[in-house]
Each structure stands twice: as structure tokens, then as C-alpha cells.
Amino acid sequence: MIPLSIPNISGNEWTYVKDCLDTGWISSVGSYVTQFMPKLICCSQRLQHQYTKSLP
């Protein structure tokens, strides 16, 4: 079998995964989701603004 992608878990990735497992936050809620969503919304709004600004 040829692997399509070999995961590279090093540095902080292992710490974050272990924290999720240790705290039981393997779902659509949790501290990382709470931190991530505002950043995603901000980035999405910024991209939308840049896109609409570039339209004729």
C-alpha cells in the first residue's frame, strides 16, 4: 500500500492534539474551536472585503 499522506506531527502539533485528548474536547466545541472561530470570521470578512473592492 502506498500512503497518500504521511502525517508530520512535531513541535506544537503533538501538544495540541494531546491537550484535546486529555480534556475530552474531540468534537465541534472546545477551547480551540472557541479561539479559532473569531479568527476565521475576521479573515473571511477581510477576504470578502478585498474581493468586492476589486470588482469593477
Average pLDDT across each block of 10 residues of the chain; the chain has 56 residues. List them in order: 78 87 78 84 81 71
pLDDT score recorded for residue 39: 86
Asked whether 30 and 46 are in contact (CB, 8 A), the reply is no
Rounded Cα gap, residues 47 and 24, in angstroms: 33
- Give residue 50's pLDDT: 73
What pLDDT score was predicted for residue 33?
82
- Every domain of the chain and the residues it spans: 28-56
**pLDDT at residue 31, rounded to an integer:** 80
* pLDDT on residue 5: 83
Length of the chain: 56
Q: What is the pLDDT of residue 56?
A: 67
Distance CA 19, CA 31 (A): 10
